[in-house]
Chains A and B, each alone.
Chain A
Amino acid sequence: MRNAFLDTLFELAQQDSRIVFITGDLGYRVVEKFMEQRPLQFLNAGVAEQNMTSLAAGMALSGKIVFTYSIGNFPTMRCLEQIRNDVCYHEANVKIVTVGGGFAYGPMGVTHHAIEDLAVMRAIPGLTIVAPGDPVEARAATRAITALAGPCYLRLGKAGEPTVHTNPIDFQLGKAIRFREGKDLTLICTGGMLQTAAKAAERLAGQGLQTRVLSMHTLKPLDEAAVLAAARETACIATLEEHSINGGLGSAVAEVLAEAAGIKVPFKRLGMPPIFSPHIGSQEYMLQQHGLNEESVSNALKTLCQQRR
């Protein structure tokens, strides 16, 4: 996803000189092309996320389309008030981009586990939040947020995720993509969990359960219509995210369901418990430890479906 983003942004930057890419001193062997070929549209702000974010707002208020870039928690939580006041309150055209959402940097330790970022960002007014599900969505998302005038948070995995969408997609901000159709349950996922969702749905199909899979690439504004349609048309709903179950996709969907008149549907949030992980290991290992691998997810979904009977 990282490469899909950077390649797409580089293409766009060649056509639009307003685009500026600012890194917080990260991106070894992936940002050099930008630096060398578009020097007036590139900036390494150093390891100084507060200054990076405020100056991005200052540049955006001078007509630029500015992308700030770093690992998970650094350009989000480290400079939270700069995002709130300088970027969002000023409606500055700044796109905050992170790599390593979730456990992509699992072995690096808890400082590098980005599992509360969506919850924190979701609380800030005026910020569009996008977490694409695979490289295809990442490319489309990069184009869409560049065209969107205003603040945005783009949460990426890292590099090397498989392409999940084998067919062309219709990517619109705020509109979930229906990846798979089914009536027994709906699994709403965000970010790189799309792959796990697709596999879990396949596994459940083998056990006679038909799953609707929604890729909720835009967490805010949430596609409430897609959530409500799922509640009406399928028997139960689960959410799946590489993030705390508090404040992210699960909470956002729960808010919609809880306030919808006349809707009662079994519901389950799958994600990280709101703790600092006691485990250290690869992304795959971390997801397994926290019940977020294909097998655990499909088992949890099966249990949910059994509850309704």
Chain B
Amino acid sequence: MTTAEALRDAIAAGRVSERLWLYANYHCNLRCVYCLTDSAPEVPRRILPVPQMVQAAEEARALGFLALGVTGGEPFLIPRMPEVLAELAGRLPVLVLSNATLFTAKLLERMRPLAGLPVTVQISLDSAEPDVNDEFRSPRNFAKVVEAIPKLVDIGIPVRIATTGDHNTAEQMERLCALHRSLGVGDDDHVVRPIVARGRAASNGMGVVAQAKDLHPELTLTADGAFWSPFAPTVRDGRPDTDLLVTRRRLPLEDPTRALLALAHANPAGTDTTLNIR
């Protein structure tokens, strides 16, 4: 059986994700308290070179992956990120994760060509209460996010909201949902997930412990190698974790894909769903 055939079967059976994740970088203009990658402005950038991102997308399409994810760090700190997203979207649909604090009028203008392309921006918003949200993320984050979301929606770019943590009561969650609806984001585009006890979250004593068996296998490429999931290439107190490393070699993509499939085959089916952190 070829790697492409094995991947197709594994995706169909739900044993591995259809999405290939790319960590564009590790640096960020924010310093969120639960950040998996210990990201901040001054950390090593560990940038995944754009030509490798494009090559990975090309090979992902050929192998049978069905979607791409781009995360960081803050991906929009990478110069030309809107243009890079357009290149990637020419291969596969893209979900790009962002803190939405960098969408100036100039950047939004460069985002405009992405309207109509299969690109969705996923933005973090943890509470309808500005103080609560900003305590997790950074001062004035809430104001910037609620300003950016409608502007992206207005230019025709789909937006998803990601809420991290279980701190919201039912009433608070209802207010948060009312808020995202008012910003133009429907309920189907709101995901809520727990804080994972890795990276800065672990340093701060936050989150649920997640091992390989608890995480859905989603091949993830970073400057350091190929990892088990986007929750895997974490950094704790400045030190990159290797416990969920699959291979150091990223390309050709078939190499880490084959290794991930072999590991996923040995993973008990269904255990990753218990923590609901897909």
Q: Do A and B come from one complex?
A: no
A interface residues with partner B (beta carbon < 8 Å): none
Interface residues of B, Cβ cutoff 8 Å to A: none
